[in-house]
């Protein structure tokens, strides 16, 4: 999906149409009642020596995607393909040897450096463990190899025989990086590697990561929620919202001019330090919808300030709106859905039903939602509502960027 | 055990490494082996910082010594040393009678002999029961926690069935079915107690396997067995150790109860049996035949409980290594 | 923002040489080691610093919320200047003849020396606090409404009785019920048929107050929210509830301990807007504790930069961020990734925060400072005024530093 023209050669890792659904089970028989769509059809490529930034808010599926890419969990559908000698092969059904090869070449650094280091192991055990697993070296040479790895991340021989809790957060993250480097991988997945660290230490770690990348031509998948960090680190950017890509493209281009309203909202919510005092931060209304029932059309339409009537307004939106309107939700007794876009709402009394119809035709309902309404019919206690059905909004390419939004970016 | 093996490897490595000079002046000469010993020493230090734990340790030490040196303290009874000697010429002697330090029972059994050799029986009982149940419980709990799904469901329902019956009554029922014998008490107790360990271990494994270091080990590509042995088991086993220590005392208590109501062979040198046989005499003033073995049971249970509590505090991750 | 233009700024709280130590096995940790600052009326004071610099400990000291032991209050004082126009501070206002529950005998008090009973009266009333993790600060077994009504019952008894149409002569049981000092006997009395209508009136009054407080925090449908349990709410919503609770009694000071760190950026922006709006409306002083420089830059009037238990620099927002004088402040700002720093060329501060166990008499930033001299090694710099509002604790030639 990455369409940078100057990219010679093949991607090292290709993610195509990856979905990851977690079943929701209920009751004594653990019947599956639905799926949480943590990742829902995501594709992008990672090229050697480049950094892909994966950003989004909590619950957007970025960490799940990181785990799928690293092979920790299998995707529900779609595939992650690794480049074996210029041939992209899906990692899900690999033979043992080849998977081992992938495993060695794709390492991971976790967010919580305390939780990701076994508290009962010494640093030399932790960093030397991958070497032991692949029987690279042993005995005295193992210790020397570990020391050289520690030196690469700015630690030394004196740290060999200490426990993780004897280090500060930044140092522990260095140990994690040393462990990831031990097998000389081609790609490292960095899952929020600096979000638990202080600014001054974060800068140290980011510099270290860059240094290592240059020296070893490593590819990074940098998963984070911090835009200023990703702006500094990533060559290309993938912005996720509710399991889907909202926007993807070159980092600088996206920061210069975000096409997707969500990307814009993310940037407006956290003005960078340079913008100075009293720069206005703009938050988003509402909450992230339940990923088990993602909105139709564009998943962001429920919170989007630019939403139009074509963005996928549906019955759930009316229910959500009712919930937030005092005095209305209480008298709602049933919602009988015919489709995602059409349903009959039953109320306990006729006046509420009348009230709703009135309010739905008034200014109180967001304009774009009102425009999308095909009909509102009142029948005693029941109100029938019908929206214009909308197809799912897919990623479209423009100027080498992919945006999942029907609104044309203004120039 | 696997970690013993690593320790030995490290010890050998240490010797080898000491022959080489290091280039780093900061290096303070630590080796993995020394650091581990120091960590163990720190644990012992924390354990001994608590006076009640020390008292418990001392009592346990004395009891152990008594069990080990029993044949030297009093001469073993022939042919079976675990049977009380019977001297029909000296029945119901009070404590202090020459040759019978703590007096004798109705059948002329030396109470002192019973107390000393009883410690061996108790030690056997607790070691067999706790040892076997700990291993069974750990294995079953780990399987349930690691595999999940229907295996977990099945094993835990089984555990629930066992736990729904009170410990003592269940043990009593099993022992009654198997017939009165000391071995059957061991079997009965083992059948009852393993479920506790399975429960604890399952909960621990479920919790520990959530940790990111388990995922980190998977990313490295380590085998499942190695991940279990290196990452999950050592971090999950602490509460089991504490429970085992507490059970060392509790088992003797329950065992004594079962013996007391006559579920072991008559005439065996066991504290519960002695208490049972001597209790009839208390009313007529012969307090000693019950009191001394009873005190031993009390001390044994107390000591292990003290140490167990101390161990729980010393192993508490919140105090560890801070 | 609410900057007082007159020279005579009125302080609401004055922290003076506050020292809080923690006893640990390895020695005494000097978590907060002699810090002094003022909090002025209506301003937002940012307390910035990295993990372990003592900013949270400072914030918690205001309300005696420190774990003692292992914590030890070694010295210093926090003088709280009670604002005496309390009757106007309720938007509903209270009639004369209803003595306000907030009227204490004291005007200026040292918060550190108050007894448990006295500080309880201040907590949540004149000084309120919101925490980083709203999930942990809410009781999972109570509905939102029930938790919030507790605060109102505790601190706004008079107003509730008034709203319920009860005179100050309202029977003792009702009064005690309202102020939550009820005993079992009172509960029984309140539930007597004669008292039931009065009880329901009190409850209605409380519910109204809670609903109003919640709607102030811009939650949609506050009445419905009151019947919900904390786990049913999103993080942002929980933080709103916490803010409603904290601002319930129009406090003079709101201590915000990283209230948005656990939230998403889009939600964070909304919460900050909310705090600022409420603050401006009510003239509350906010002590905003954060590690996030860009956030502090955005919302604070004055900023105190903390390092290793000390304030190293304090001044107005512009003084700190446009004209920083302490090498640590400069270092922090340069360590932030910005649009034009080349990759891999962030100016990180080398090293780590020093351990605060029995620190030696020297500048604590010495080991990480690029401008350290021998003097810094032998002497501990004090905060010294650069301008009227700007102080810095550094020996180095600040002009020279800024030039570099």
Residues in chain A with CB shorter than 8 Å from the CB of C293 are: 199, 273
> Per the CB < 8 Å rule, is B222 touching A70?
no
User: How many CB atoms are closer than 10 A to CB C72?
Assistant: 16
Distance from CA of A210 to the nearest CA of C (A): 5
pLDDT digits (tens, 9 = 90+) for C250-285: 788 888 888 888 778 888 888 888 888 888 888 888
Pick from B244, B238, B242, B257: nearest CA to B310: B242
Question: Which CA distances in Å does C207 have to A283, C146, C152, C232?
Answer: 29, 9, 10, 20
N-term to C-term CA, chain B: 28
The pLDDT of residue C398 is above 70: no
b/e burial code for range A324-353 (CB count within 10 A of at least 16 → b): ebeebeebbeeeeeeebbbbbbbbeeeebb
What average pLDDT score do residues B201-219 get? 90
> Per the CB < 8 Å rule, is B235 touching A176?
no
Band (pLDDT 50/70/90 cuts) for residue C170 is low
Pick from A306, A270, A265: nearest CA to A288: A265
- What is the distance between the alpha carbons of residues B234 and B231, in angstroms, rounded to a whole number? 6
> Per the CB < 8 Å rule, is C265 touching A58?
no
pLDDT value of residue B131: 93
- In chain A, the residue whose alpha carbon lies closest to the alpha carbon of B32 is A161
- What is the distance between the alpha carbons of residues C159 and C149, in angstroms, rounded to a whole number? 13
- In chain B, the residue whose alpha carbon lies closest to the alpha carbon of A162 is B35
pLDDT value of residue C351: 77
Nearest to A233 among C335, C343, C345 (CB): C343
pLDDT value of residue B5: 57
Interface of B with A in 218-277 (CB under 8 A): 218-223, 226, 230-231, 234-235
Name the token pair of A351: 């006046």
pLDDT digits (tens, 9 = 90+) for C8-21: 567 788 888 888 88
Looking at chain A, the number of H-run helices and the number of E-run strands are 12, 16
- What is the distance between the alpha carbons of residues A346 and A330, in angstroms, rounded to a whole number? 12
The pLDDT of residue A86 is above 90: no
User: How many CB atoms are closer than 10 A to CB B260?
Assistant: 21
N-term to C-term CA, chain C: 32
Pick from B296, B297, B279, B289: nearest CA to B102: B289
- What is the distance between the alpha carbons of residues A74 and A93, in angstroms, rounded to a whole number? 10
> Per the CB < 8 Å rule, is B215 touching A110?
yes
| % of chain C residues with pLDDT over 90 | 1
Residues in chain C with CB shorter than 8 Å from the CB of A283 are: 265-273
C270 touches A at CB < 8 Å = yes
Count residue pairs from A and C with Cβ separation < 8 A.
144
- What is the distance between the alpha carbons of residues A60 and A245, in angstroms, rounded to a whole number? 9
| % of chain B residues with pLDDT over 90 | 20
Looking at chain A, how many residues does it have? 411
The pLDDT of residue C403 is above 80: no
pLDDT digits (tens, 9 = 90+) for A165-190: 888 888 899 999 999 999 889 999 99
pLDDT digits (tens, 9 = 90+) for B261-310: 888 877 788 888 888 888 877 888 778 888 888 899 999 999 999 999 88
pLDDT value of residue A199: 84
Question: Burial level of C146, CB count in 10 A (0-12/13-18/19+)?
Answer: middle
- Asked if residue C269 lies in contact with residue A282, where contact means CB atoms within 8 angstroms, the answer is yes
> Per the CB < 8 Å rule, is A232 touching C352?
no
Pick from C342, C352, C274, C340: nearest CA to C307: C352
The pLDDT of residue C93 is above 60: no
Distance from CA of B220 to the nearest CA of A (A): 6
Residues in chain A with CB shorter than 8 Å from the CB of B36 are: 122
What average pLDDT score do residues B215-234 get? 89
Mean pLDDT value across chain C? 77
pLDDT value of residue C85: 46
pLDDT digits (tens, 9 = 90+) for C326-376: 888 888 888 888 777 777 778 878 877 777 777 778 888 888 887 777 777
- What is the distance between the alpha carbons of residues B168 and B193, in angstroms, rounded to a whole number? 10
- Asked if residue C371 lies in contact with residue C327, where contact means CB atoms within 8 angstroms, the answer is yes
N-term to C-term CA, chain A: 24
b/e burial code for range C101-132 (CB count within 10 A of at least 16 → b): bbebeeeebebbebeeebbeebbbbbbbbbbb
Phi, psi angles (nearest 5°) of residue A302: -65, -25
Cis before B37? omega within 30: no
- In chain C, the residue whose alpha carbon lies closest to the alpha carbon of A281 is C269
The pLDDT of residue A162 is above 70: yes
pLDDT value of residue A6: 45
> Per the CB < 8 Å rule, is A199 touching C271?
no
pLDDT digits (tens, 9 = 90+) for A210-258: 989 999 889 999 999 888 888 888 999 999 988 888 899 998 888 888 8
pLDDT value of residue A332: 76
List all chains that touch chain C, counting a touch as 3 or more CB pairs closer than 8 Å: A
- Mean pLDDT is lowest, of A241-250, B137-146, B216-225, C278-287, for C278-287
- What is the distance between the alpha carbons of residues C108 and C80, in angstroms, rounded to a whole number? 6
B13 touches A at CB < 8 Å = yes
Count residue pairs from A and B with Cβ separation < 8 A.
94
> Per the CB < 8 Å rule, is B220 touching A103?
yes
pLDDT value of residue A175: 92
Band (pLDDT 50/70/90 cuts) for residue C92 is very low
Interface of A with B (CB under 8 A): 67, 70-72, 100, 103-104, 106-108, 110, 112, 115-122, 124-125, 129-130, 133-134, 139-140, 143, 156-158, 160-163, 165-166, 176, 179, 183
pLDDT digits (tens, 9 = 90+) for C60-76: 888 888 877 777 888 88
| % of chain A residues with pLDDT over 90 | 9
Decide: helix, strand or coil at residue B107. Answer: coil
Contacts of residue B192, defined as CB under 8 A and 6 or more positions apart, other chains included, come to B162, B167, B170, B171, B174
Residues in chain A with CB shorter than 8 Å from the CB of B215 are: 67, 72, 108, 110, 116
Mean pLDDT value across chain B? 82
Decide: helix, strand or coil at residue C109. Answer: strand
- Cα A199 vs. chain centroid, distance in angstroms? 23
pLDDT value of residue C116: 77
C268 touches A at CB < 8 Å = yes
Pick from A167, A159, A124: nearest CA to A142: A124
> Per the CB < 8 Å rule, is A104 touching B219?
no
- What is the distance between the alpha carbons of residues C169 and C189, in angstroms, rounded to a whole number? 16
B38 touches A at CB < 8 Å = no
Name the token pair of C56: 């949270």
Distance from CA of A232 to the nearest CA of B (A): 26
Question: Which CA distances in Å does B61 have to A11, A100, A193, B243, B303?
Answer: 67, 51, 50, 19, 10
pLDDT value of residue B203: 93
Residues in chain A with CB shorter than 8 Å from the CB of B321 are: 119, 163, 165-166
Name the token pair of B120: 């061996």
Phi, psi angles (nearest 5°) of residue C394: -155, 140
The pLDDT of residue C33 is above 80: yes
Nearest to B213 among A115, A143, A162 (CB): A115
User: How many CB atoms are closer than 10 A to CB A92?
Assistant: 14
The pLDDT of residue A3 is above 60: no
Residues in chain A with CB shorter than 8 Å from the CB of C317 are: 277
The pLDDT of residue C101 is above 80: no
pLDDT digits (tens, 9 = 90+) for A300-329: 888 888 888 888 888 888 887 877 777 677
Q: Which residue has the tokens 């979000």?
A: A195
What average pLDDT score do residues C88-106 get? 42
> Per the CB < 8 Å rule, is A203 touching C335?
yes
pLDDT value of residue C356: 77
Q: Which residue has the tokens 């943590």?
A: A38
- Asked if residue A224 lies in contact with residue A230, where contact means CB atoms within 8 angstroms, the answer is yes
C233 touches A at CB < 8 Å = no
- Asked if residue B166 lies in contact with residue B184, where contact means CB atoms within 8 angstroms, the answer is no
> Per the CB < 8 Å rule, is A266 touching C265?
yes
- In chain A, the residue whose alpha carbon lies closest to the alpha carbon of C222 is A326
What average pLDDT score do residues C379-391 get? 82
pLDDT digits (tens, 9 = 90+) for A348-399: 777 777 777 777 777 777 788 878 887 777 877 788 888 888 888 888 887 7
Pick from A225, A267, A216, A298: nearest CA to A59: A225
Decide: helix, strand or coil at residue A94. Answer: coil
Name the token pair of C41: 């009326």
Mean pLDDT value across chain A? 83
- What is the distance between the alpha carbons of residues A130 and C86, in angstroms, rounded to a whole number? 66
Name the token pair of B92: 């119901």
pLDDT digits (tens, 9 = 90+) for C209-231: 888 888 877 777 777 788 888 88
Residues in chain A with CB shorter than 8 Å from the CB of C346 are: 203, 206-207, 232
- In chain B, the residue whose alpha carbon lies closest to the alpha carbon of A181 is B220
Question: Burial level of B54, CB count in 10 A (0-12/13-18/19+)?
Answer: middle
> Per the CB < 8 Å rule, is C266 touching A211?
no
The pLDDT of residue C304 is above 60: yes
> Per the CB < 8 Å rule, is C266 touching A200?
no
pLDDT value of residue B24: 42
The pLDDT of residue B194 is above 50: yes
B89 touches A at CB < 8 Å = no
- Residue ranges of alpha helices (H) inside B69-148 are 70-73, 111-147
- Asked if residue A53 lies in contact with residue A239, where contact means CB atoms within 8 angstroms, the answer is no
> Per the CB < 8 Å rule, is A139 touching B27?
no
What average pLDDT score do residues B66-74 get? 87
b/e burial code for range B120-134 (CB count within 10 A of at least 16 → b): bbbbbbbebbbebbb
pLDDT value of residue B78: 77
List, in sequence order, every residue forming a beta bridge with C304; answer none if it has no partner.
C47, C314
Decide: helix, strand or coil at residue C391. Answer: strand
Residues in chain A with CB shorter than 8 Å from the CB of B317 are: 119
- Asked if residue B6 lies in contact with residue B13, where contact means CB atoms within 8 angstroms, the answer is no
Complex ipTM > 0.85 = no
pLDDT value of residue C87: 38
Q: Is the alpha carbon torsion for A111, A114, A117, A123 positive or negative?
A: positive
Distance from CA of C90 to the nearest CA of A (A): 25
C8 touches A at CB < 8 Å = no
The pLDDT of residue C163 is above 80: no
List all chains that touch chain A, counting a touch as 3 or more CB pairs closer than 8 Å: B, C
Question: Which CA distances in Å does C367 have to C27, C168, C352, C371?
Answer: 21, 63, 9, 10
What average pLDDT score do residues A37-59 get? 88
pLDDT value of residue B20: 44
Pick from C6, C16, C128, C26: nearest CA to C356: C26
> Per the CB < 8 Å rule, is A271 touching C294?
yes
- Cα A154 vs. chain centroid, distance in angstroms? 30
Q: Which residue has the tokens 């161990």?
A: B311
Question: Which CA distances in Å does A17 have to A1, A20, A300, C36?
Answer: 11, 10, 20, 58
What is the widest separation between alpha-carbon atoms in chain A? 85
């Amino acid at each position: 999906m990455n369409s940078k023209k100057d990219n010679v050669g093949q991607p090292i890792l290709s993610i195509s149409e990856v979905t990851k659904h977690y079943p929701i089970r209920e009751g004594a028989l653990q019947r599956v009642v639905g799926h949480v769509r943590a990742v829902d059809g995501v594709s992008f490529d990672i090229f050697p020596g480049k950094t892909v930034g994966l950003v989004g808010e909590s619950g957007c599926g970025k960490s799940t995607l990181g785990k799928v890419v690293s092979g920790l969990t299998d995707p529900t559908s779609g595939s992650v393909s690794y480049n074996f000698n210029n041939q992209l092969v899906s990692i899900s059904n690999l033979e043992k040897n080849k998977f081992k090869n992938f495993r060695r070449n794709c390492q991971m650094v976790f967010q919580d450096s305390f939780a990701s280091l076994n508290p009962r192991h010494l640093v030399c055990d932790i960093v030397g463990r991958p070497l032991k697993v692949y029987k690279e070296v042993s005995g005295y040479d193992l210790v020397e190899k570990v020391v050289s790895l520690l030196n690469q991340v700015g630690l030394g021989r004196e740290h060999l025989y200490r426990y993780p809790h004897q280090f500060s957060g930044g140092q522990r993250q260095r140990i994690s990086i040393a462990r990831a480097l031990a097998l000389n991988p081609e790609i490292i997945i960095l899952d929020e590697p600096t979000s638990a660290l202080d600014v001054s230490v974060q800068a140290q770690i980011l510099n270290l990561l860059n240094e290592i990348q240059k020296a070893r031509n490593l590819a990074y998948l940098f998963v984070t929620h911090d835009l200023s960090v990703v702006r500094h680190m990533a060559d290309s950017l993938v912005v996720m919202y509710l399991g889907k890509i909202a926007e993807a493209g070159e980092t600088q281009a996206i920061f210069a001019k975000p096409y997707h309203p969500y990307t814009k909202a993310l940037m407006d919510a956290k003005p960078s330090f340079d913008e100075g005092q009293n720069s206005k931060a703009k938050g988003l209304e509402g909450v992230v919808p339940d990923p088990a029932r993602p909105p139709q059309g564009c998943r962001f339409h429920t919170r989007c300030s630019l939403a139009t009537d074509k963005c996928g307004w549906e019955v759930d939106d009316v229910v959500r709106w009712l919930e937030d309107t005092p005095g209305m939700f209480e008298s709602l007794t049933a919602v009988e859905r015919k489709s995602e876009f059409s349903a009959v709402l039953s109320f306990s009394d006729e006046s509420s039903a009348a009230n709703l119809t009135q309010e739905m035709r008034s200014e109180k309902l967001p304009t774009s939602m009102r425009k999308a309404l095909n009909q509102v019919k009142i029948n005693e206690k029941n109100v029938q509502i019908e929206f214009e059905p909308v197809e799912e909004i897919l990623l479209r390419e423009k100027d080498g960027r992919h945006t999942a939004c029907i609104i044309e970016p203004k120039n | 055990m696997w970690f013993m093996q690593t320790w030995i490897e490290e010890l050998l490595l240490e010797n080898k490494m000491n022959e080489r000079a290091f280039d780093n002046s900061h290096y303070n000469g630590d080796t993995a082996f020394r650091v581990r010993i120091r960590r163990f020493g720190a644990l012992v230090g924390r354990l001994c910082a608590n006076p009640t734990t020390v008292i418990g340790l001392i009592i346990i030490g004395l009891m152990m010594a008594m069990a080990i040196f029993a044949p030297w303290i009093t001469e073993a009874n022939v042919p079976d040393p675990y049977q009380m000697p019977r001297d029909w010429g000296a029945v119901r002697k009070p404590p202090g009678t020459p040759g019978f330090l703590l007096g004798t029972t109705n059948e002329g059994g030396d109470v002192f002999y019973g107390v000393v050799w009883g410690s061996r029986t108790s030690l056997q009982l607790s070691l067999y029961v706790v040892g076997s149940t700990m291993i069974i419980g750990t294995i079953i709990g780990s399987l349930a926690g690691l595999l999940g799904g229907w295996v977990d469901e099945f094993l835990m329902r089984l555990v629930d069935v066992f736990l729904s019956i009170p410990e003592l009554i269940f043990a009593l029922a099993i022992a009654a079915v198997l017939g009165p014998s000391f071995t059957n008490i061991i079997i009965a107790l083992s059948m009852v107690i393993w479920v506790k360990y399975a429960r604890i271990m399952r909960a621990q494994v479920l919790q520990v396997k959530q940790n990111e270091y388990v995922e980190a080990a998977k990313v490295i590509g380590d085998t499942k067995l190695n991940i279990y042995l290196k990452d999950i088991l050592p971090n999950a086993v602490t509460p089991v150790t504490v429970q085992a220590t507490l059970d060392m005392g509790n088992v003797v208590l329950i065992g004594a109860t079962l013996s007391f109501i006559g579920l072991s062979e008559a005439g065996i040198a066991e504290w519960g049996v002695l208490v049972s046989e001597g209790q009839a005499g208390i009313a007529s003033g012969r307090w000693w035949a019950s009191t001394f073995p009873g005190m031993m049971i009390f001390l044994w249970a107390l000591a292990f409980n003290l140490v167990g509590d101390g161990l729980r505090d010393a192993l508490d991750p919140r105090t560890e290594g801070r | 923002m609410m900057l007082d233009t007159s020279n005579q700024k009125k302080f609401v709280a004055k922290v003076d040489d506050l020292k809080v130590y923690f006893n640990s096995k390895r020695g005494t940790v000097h978590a907060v080691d002699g810090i002094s600052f003022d909090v002025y009326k209506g301003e937002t004071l940012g307390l910035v610093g990295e993990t372990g610099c003592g900013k949270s400990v400072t914030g918690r000291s205001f309300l005696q919320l420190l774990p003692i032991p292992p914590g030890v209050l070694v010295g210093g004082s926090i003088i709280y200047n009670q604002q005496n126009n309390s009757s106007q501070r309720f938007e509903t206002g209270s009639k004369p003849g209803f003595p306000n529950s907030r009227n204490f005998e004291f005007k200026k008090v040292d918060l550190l020396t108050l007894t448990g009973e006295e500080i309880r009266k201040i907590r949540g009333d004149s000084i309120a606090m919101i925490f980083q993790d709203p999930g942990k600060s809410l009781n999972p077994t109570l509905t939102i409404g029930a938790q919030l009504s507790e605060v109102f019952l505790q601190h706004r008894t008079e107003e509730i009785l008034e709203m319920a149409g009860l005179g100050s002569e309202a029977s003792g049981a009702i009064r005690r019920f309202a102020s939550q000092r009820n005993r079992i006997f009172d509960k029984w009395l309140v539930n007597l048929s004669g008292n039931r209508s009065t009880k329901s009136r009190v409850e209605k009054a409380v519910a109204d107050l809670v609903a109003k407080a919640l709607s102030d925090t811009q939650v949609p449908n506050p009445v419905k929210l009151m019947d919900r349990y904390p786990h049913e709410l999103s993080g942002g919503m929980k933080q709103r509830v916490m803010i409603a609770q904290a601002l319930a009694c129009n406090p003079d000071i709101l201590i915000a301990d990283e209230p948005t760190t656990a939230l998403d950026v889009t939600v964070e922006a909304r919460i900050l807007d909310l705090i600022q709006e409420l603050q401006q409306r009510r003239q509350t002083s906010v002590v905003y504790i954060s590690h996030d420089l860009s956030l502090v830059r955005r919302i604070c009037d004055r900023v105190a930069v903390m390092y290793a238990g000390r304030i190293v620099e304090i001044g107005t927002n512009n003084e700190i961020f446009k004209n920083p004088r302490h090498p640590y402040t400069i270092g922090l700002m340069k360590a932030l990734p910005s649009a034009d720093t080349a990759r891999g060329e962030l100016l990180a501060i080398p090293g780590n925060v020093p351990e605060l166990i029995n620190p030696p008499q020297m500048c604590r930033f010495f080991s990480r400072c690029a401008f350290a001299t021998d003097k810094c090694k032998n002497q501990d710099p004090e905060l010294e005024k650069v301008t009227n509002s700007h102080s810095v604790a550094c020996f180095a030639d600040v002009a020279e530093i800024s030039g570099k």
